[in-house]
Amino acid sequence: MRSLLAVHDSTTQSKADRDPAQWMPPAAAATCRYISDWVTVKTRWQLSTDPAEHAAIQRIAAGCDNPVITVTLAR
């Protein structure tokens, strides 16, 4: 299960509480991993997305490989 990733303080400060519609990692190579982790957490905890966040996830994920993500729902 993936949900936490160690990052530099400056990255944490630049992200704050923004979703993928408002912020993405500065390194392009990290984008697909970030989206995959984001969707995994949202699915695991059955969290909703707003329309802008949903559109951003779809747009960004379209440029990624299509990995299989297995999620165990939280109880």
Question: Which pTM does this prediction carry?
Answer: 0.72
Cβ density class 2-40: b for 16+ within 10 Å, e for less: eeeeeeeeeeeeebeeebbbeebbeeeeebbebbbbbbb
Cα separation of 71 and 2, whole Å? 10
pLDDT tens digits for 3-58? 555 555 555 556 666 788 888 777 777 888 889 989 999 999 999 999 999 999 99
- 61 Cβ contact partners less than 8 Å away, ≥ 6 residues apart: 32, 35, 39
